[in-house]
Structure 1
């Protein structure tokens, strides 16, 4: 099912849809910007670029950093080992095939939910690391996502209208100051 909302408060929408807060595997966490704002008791923050983890925003004890390639999650974690697996602003950094493979693995690793948050359509981003930590190669966008394709994969999708706009430096860098806002997708699959 696909819904639309003008509500741009991603965290509030996510909190409304979380069904179990025991544990989370956040894939492609970057410097862990929002992980302290999530209600999970235990979080594994996985990222391939070690400087993001070393310079993470949080040092909360319930958030454990793991430096690994996300494409290996099926080998790193056993089935049903986390309540949820999330890809928040990360799935677009992988090729479509790699992303689809990771989503299938995530559905085995999660006992309750797989969560995806990504721009709608192609949001070009190349050769830039807004965190200033030399992760340009990992910040490149390699795939685009539409609500219908995530719905076909069994996700309930919320189109967040105008989520990306001039408040976002990546948006301005990519589209310019006068470009209309770009939607985001919050997609959740209960497994």
Structure 2
């Protein structure tokens, strides 16, 4: 397993792409902050599908009013150990269960691709209605057939990708988009169908942001 986990880096291509990724894309929190309204620190933020709270717990988020939501008991427990406010629920039930709450900014990061596209669109529509100011989405761009997690920390059903997304899906809904070319510089470790592919398989990612004033 250690070799399989490291093998993308054991080549000039792998090392080069990893350095490229670090230089261009590693600071996800910094990019997220740059995409939010300038007064974000004084606003209420909902992190839908927060995982273990890596972003909400970043030092640059200190003092922000963030509520984390995730369907994994392990993830919610990890959030709480970091001192974060965290609720356990299926992300698809968030609009109904938190309908009496008000949030200014809603993050939906690496979530939509784990749902069938119809369900994901329904969730996105509800989140757009819930958000007072902004919805911020991050997800893979195009076909990325993930069905496993190399470390084995999470069940394969939780990490499986169930939908494919394109930039046009968000442009049609009034989002502004930022594509990260080559963000996933080798996806073979995460996709059993590509495990025997002899060459690296590169995929891209995308930020998409919708401002409430952009609603039709």
Indicate the TM-score class for this superposition, using the shorter chain for normalisation: 0.7 to 0.9
Please give the per-residue CA displacement for 1:27-47, whole angstroms capped at 9, x wherever unaligned: 111222222226361211111
- Could you tell me which runs of 5 or more consecutive residues in structure 1 were left unpaired when the two chains were aligned: 1-5
Counting only pairs closer than 5 Å after superposition, residues 169-180 of structure 1 correspond to structure 2 as 171-174=188-191, 175=194, 178-180=199-201
Indicate the structure with greater helix content: 2
Match of 1:17 in 2: 35
Query: What secondary structure, in the 3-state scheme, does the structure 2 residue paired with 1:148 have?
Result: helix
Match of 1:143 in 2: 163
**Length-normalised TM-score, structure 1:** 0.83
- Could you tell me which runs of 5 or more consecutive residues in structure 2 were left unpaired when the two chains were aligned: 1-22
RMSD: 2.3
Please give the per-residue CA displacement for 1:48-81, whole angstroms capped at 9, x wherever unaligned: 121222234x7343x2111101111221123771
Q: Determine the C-alpha separation between the residues in 1 that align with 2:94 and 2:190.
A: 32
Query: What secondary structure, in the 3-state scheme, does the structure 2 residue paired with 1:143 have?
Result: coil
Match of 2:12 in 1: none
Question: How many residues get paired?
Answer: 180
Candidates 33, 50, 53, aligned match of 1:29: 50
Match of 2:5 in 1: none
Q: Determine the C-alpha separation between the residues in 1 that align with 2:116 and 2:130.
A: 21
**Length-normalised TM-score, structure 2:** 0.74
Residues 150 and 190 in structure 2, CA contact (< 8 A), matched pair in contact too: no
Query: What secondary structure, in the 3-state scheme, does the structure 1 residue paired with 2:81 have?
Result: coil
Residues 52 and 133 in structure 1, CA contact (< 8 A), matched pair in contact too: no
Match of 2:72 in 1: 49
Q: Does 1:121 align with 2:150?
A: no
Which has the higher Rg, Structure 1 or Structure 2?
A: 2
Query: What secondary structure, in the 3-state scheme, does the structure 1 residue paired with 2:33 have?
Result: helix
Residues 120 and 185 in structure 1, CA contact (< 8 A), matched pair in contact too: yes
Structure 1 segments of 4+ aligned residues over 6 angstroms from their partners: none
Instruction: Specify whether residues 80 and 156 from structure 1 end up closer, same or farther in structure 2 by C-alpha distance, changes over 3 A only.
Output: farther
Q: Determine the C-alpha separation between the residues in 2 that align with 1:171 and 1:59.
A: 32
